[in-house]
């Protein structure tokens, strides 16, 4: 149960999140400091790669960075740049399963 003082923080955090988000993903975003507005950018503009297990991994590659430079203001791009190492795992029903900061390069088979 939430402490009464935490309600506004959680509400403000979840207000920016896409509606198709699992409870696990919501918790992980908060734990890992990934803002909802960036997850929205990632879902709309990120590169999609199939993981071989039925899910899709959304990432920011060089082409995505070039595209974001065109669609965002300079200050928005600068704010987003901090999160370019973030990836999201999306299930076949378009729900975000989890998100994290990439620490290693993903090997494609």
Is 78 part of any domain? yes
Is 24 part of any domain? yes
Is 28 part of any domain? yes
Mean pLDDT across the stretch 17-32?
88
Q: What pLDDT does 4 receive? A: 40
The tokens for 72 are 């965002």
Is 22 part of any domain? yes
Question: How many structural domains are present in the chain?
Answer: 1
Q: What pLDDT does 26 receive? A: 93
Q: What's the domain range around 96? A: 4-100
Please return the burial class of 34, using the count of CB atoms within 10 Å of its CB with bins 0-12, 13-18 and 19+: buried
Q: Work out the angle at residue 85's Cα, subtended by the Cα atoms of residues 48 and 15, and round it to the nearest 5 degrees.
A: 80
Rounded distance between C-alpha atoms, residue 35 and residue 88, angstroms: 12
Mean pLDDT across the stretch 4-18?
45
Mean pLDDT across the stretch 89-96?
93
**What end-to-end distance do the CA atoms of the chain give, in Å?**
44
Rounded distance between C-alpha atoms, residue 27 and residue 35, angstroms: 12
Rounded distance between C-alpha atoms, residue 94 and residue 31, angstroms: 22
> pLDDT tens-digit profile of 30-88?
999 999 999 999 999 999 999 999 999 999 999 999 999 999 999 999 999 999 999 99
DSSP conformation class of 103: -
Residue with tokens 């900061």, as numbered in its chain: 101
pLDDT band at 102 (very low <50, low <70, confident <90, very high): confident
């Amino acid at each position: 149960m939430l402490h009464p003082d935490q309600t506004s923080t959680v509400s403000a955090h979840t207000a920016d999140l896409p509606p198709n988000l699992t409870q696990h993903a919501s918790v992980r975003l908060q734990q890992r400091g990934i803002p909802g507005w960036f997850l929205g950018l990632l879902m709309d503009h990120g590169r999609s790669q199939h993981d071989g297990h039925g899910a899709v991994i959304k990432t920011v590659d060089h082409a995505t960075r070039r595209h974001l430079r065109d669609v965002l203001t300079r200050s928005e791009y600068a704010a987003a740049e901090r999160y370019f190492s973030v990836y999201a795992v999306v299930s076949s029903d378009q729900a975000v399963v989890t998100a994290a900061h990439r620490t290693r390069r993903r090997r494609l088979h």
